A = this chain, B = another copy of it.
Amino acid sequence: MQDLGKAVGTLIRKRRKALGISQEKLALLTNIDRSYVGRIERGEVNLTVEKLYQFAQALQCHARELLP
């Protein structure tokens, strides 16, 4: 299941870069610590569905788009 975390993290990173925002900015938007955002993007964290929606809102997409 670690691949799942990596796949979700990659989709978050791709979406963040497509919007041209930094990890710092995403951390601010989601009210999550910047280093934790980095861990999430590297797939080191098993996100909750609630956090997934927080990211989707900050990344202006549906949470489904952040699922592989």
Contact = CB atoms under 8 A, between A and B. Distances in A.
Copies of this chain present in the complex amount to: 2
Nearest to A56: B67
Interface residues of A, number: 15
Nearest to A48: B46
A8 B64 CA distance: 12
A67 B48 CA distance: 12
A49 to B, nearest CB: 5
Nearest to A47: B49
A4 B49 contact: yes
Given A46-B48, A47-B48, A48-B48, 16 more contacts: A1-B53, A4-B49, A4-B50, A4-B53, A5-B49, A5-B50, A8-B49, A46-B49, A46-B50, A47-B49, A48-B49, A49-B67, A62-B67, A64-B64, A64-B67, A67-B67
